[in-house]
Amino acid sequence: MKVPLLDLKAHHAPLIEKFDRAIREVIESSAFAGGPFVERFEEEFAVFCDSAYAVGVGNGTDALWLTLLALGIGEGDEVITVPNTFIATAEAITYCKARPVFVDVDKDTFTMNPAELEKALTDRTKAIIPVHLFGQPADMDPILEFARAHGLFVIEDAAQAHGGEYKGRKAGTLGDAGCFSFYPGKNLGAFGEAGAVVTNDPELRKQIQMLRDHGQARKYYHTMMGWNCRMDGIQAAVLSVKLRHLYEANSLRRKHALGYNQAFAGIDEILTPFEAKYARHVYHVYAIRVQKRDVVVRDLQEKGVGCAVHYPVPIHLQDACRDLGYTKGAFPVAENLADEFVSLPMFPELTEEQIEYVARCVAEVVGVEAFA
Ligand SMILES: Cc1ncc(COP(=O)(O)O)c(C=O)c1O
C-alpha cells in the first residue's frame, strides 16, 4: 500500500463540478484581480472566523507583511515570534526592516511559551506574533495579557489553523489581526496562491486594503506607496466553494488524529501530539516525535508512507538568519522538536485502512515488534 502525505486529488474530486461552475462564473465576468468574487469570499471568511472583516491578499506571507506595515512596524523595531515556524513569519518581520526576536516554545503544544516573553522584551519591542503551529492555537490569554501590559500589538500567524479554536474563539480573532495562508495544501487551500488578514479594526482593514492595491482607495488616486498583493478572482471563487466544507474536513482530520493516537497509545517510542484543554486543534499537520528521526523517515518512505519534517532547522539556525546572532542551544525546546518531529499522512479523505497501515509501519520502523 502507498499512503501519500496529502491527497488533494481525493479532496477535490467530489467538488469538481462546483469548481467548474465557480471558475466559469469568474471567466464570464472577467473579474480576475480583486473584484466581486474576492469581496464575497472576504465576507464569507469573516463570518466563518466570527470576525468583523477579512481582507484577501496574495498569500500568507503578504498577509503577515502587510499587517506589520499597516501597524507601522518598521526600522529599529523588534517583533517577538517563535523559531519553530515556516520562514515566512520571520521574513515578513525582516521585510518591514524590523528585527525578529525569538522565544522558545512549550514542549507539549509546540507553540509560543508565554513565560519566555519577558526575557525577549526591550524598549524596541512593538509586536508579538504567536504561531498556531500545526493547527493548534498558542495559549493566547497570557500572551494578550503580556502585550496589553507592555503596549504591544498581537498578530496571530494562523496560516495553519483555519477553524482552530482557543477557548471557543476562532484562531486569528484573538489579537489585533490574524493572518491566513490559502496555499493549496492548507486546511483551506486555493488552486494557487492566496491569503487573508482578519481583524475587527476598521482602520487596520482600510490600511491593508490600500497597501495591497498600490496605496489606492480609488483607481489611479494613490494616497500612499503600496504594493500589488491582491487576491485573484479565481482563487476567491474556489475558496468560497471549499469554505463550505471546511468545518467537516477539520472534523475528519480530528477523527484521524484520534485514530492515530489510539493506535500509538502505550508505545513509549512514539510521542503523539497533545491537544491543550483550551484548544480545538485542526491538525493541519499530525506530527509525532521519535528518536533517530531521519532513519524513521527513510524507512517509512521505503514502505510507501508519505511523511515530512516540519521543520528540520529552526529559523534562528537558518543561514538566512545568521546576522541575528543566535547560536545552537538558544532555544532547546524548539531545537529538540526539530530533531524529533515526523509528520504523518493527514488529510480528510484518509481511510481507516490507510491509518492502520501507516500506524503499523511506524510501529515497525521504531522497532515495536508486538504491535497488533
Ligand atoms: C506558519 C506559516 N506562516 C506563514 C506562511 C506563509 O504562507 P504563504 O505560503 O501562503 O505565503 C505559512 C505557509 O506555509 C505558514 O505555514
Per-residue pLDDT of the chain (372 residues; tens, 9 = 90+): 999 999 999 999 999 999 999 999 999 999 999 899 999 999 999 999 999 999 999 999 999 999 999 999 999 999 999 999 999 999 999 999 999 999 999 999 999 999 999 999 999 999 999 999 999 999 999 999 999 999 999 999 999 999 999 999 999 999 999 999 999 999 999 999 999 999 999 999 999 999 999 999 889 999 999 999 999 999 999 999 999 999 999 999 999 999 999 999 999 999 999 999 999 999 999 999 999 999 999 999 999 999 999 999 999 999 999 999 999 999 999 999 999 999 999 999 999 999 999 999 999 999 886 555
Ligand 1 within 6 A of CB of 189? no
Ligand 1 within 6 A of CB of 88? yes
Distance CA 91, CA 110 (A): 20
Distance CA 231, CA 351 (A): 34
Residue whose Cα lies nearest atom 7 of ligand 1: it is: 60
Q: Please tell me whether residue 33 adopts helix, strand or coil conformation.
A: strand
Instruction: For Cα atoms 288, 294, 298, give the angle at the middle one, nearest 5 degrees.
Output: 100
Distance CA 113, CA 106 (A): 5
Q: How many CA atoms lie within 13 A of 180 on its CB side?
A: 34
Ligand 1 within 6 A of CB of 156? no
Q: Which atom of ligand 1 is nearest to the CA of 92?
A: 4
Query: 156-173 b/e with 16+ CB inside 10 Å = b?
Result: bbbbbbbbbbbeeebbbb
Q: How far is CA 20 from CA 9, 16, 72, 345, in A?
A: 15, 6, 41, 28
Closest CA to 325 of 338, 334, 316: 316
Would you give the end-to-end CA distance of the chain in angstroms?
18
Closest CA to 172 of 232, 142, 130: 130
Distance CA 29, CA 36 (A): 9
| Locus of grid cell 490574524 | 178
Distance CA 102, CA 196 (A): 24
Distance CA 134, CA 223 (A): 38
Single pTM value for the model: 0.98
The region, left, alpha or beta by phi > 0 then psi within -120 to 50, assigned to residue 77 is: beta
Q: Are 123 and 148 in contact (CB under 8 A)?
A: no
Kindly state the cell numbers that stand for 193. Answer: 496562491
Quickly list H helices, 95-201. 117-120, 140-150
Q: Which atom of ligand 1 is nearest to the CA of 194?
A: 10
Per-residue model confidence (pLDDT) at position 161: 98
Q: Which atom of ligand 1 is nearest to the CA of 195?
A: 10
Kindly state the cell numbers that stand for 278. Answer: 483550551
Substitution candidate for ligand 1 out of 57, 61, 81, 110 with most atoms within 8 A of CB = 61
Longest dimension (CA), the chain: 71
| Locus of grid cell 463550505 | 244
Chain centroid to CA 122: 27
The dihedral formed by the CA atoms of 68, 70, 71 and 77, expressed in degrees to the nearest 10? 50
Q: Are strands 279-280 and 165-166 parallel, antiparallel or unpaired?
A: antiparallel
How far is ligand 1, taken at its centre, from the CA of residue 181, in Å?
A: 5
Q: Which atom of ligand 1 is nearest to the CA of 59?
A: 10
Residue whose Cα lies nearest atom 10 of ligand 1: it is: 60
Kindly state the cell numbers that stand for 349. Answer: 479523505
Distance CA 150, CA 131 (A): 20
Ligand 1 within 6 A of CB of 59? yes
Residue whose Cα lies nearest atom 4 of ligand 1: it is: 88
Per-residue model confidence (pLDDT) at position 369: 62
Strand pairing partners for 255? Answer: none
Q: Are 95 and 65 in contact (CB under 8 A)?
A: yes
Ligand 1 within 6 A of CB of 85? yes
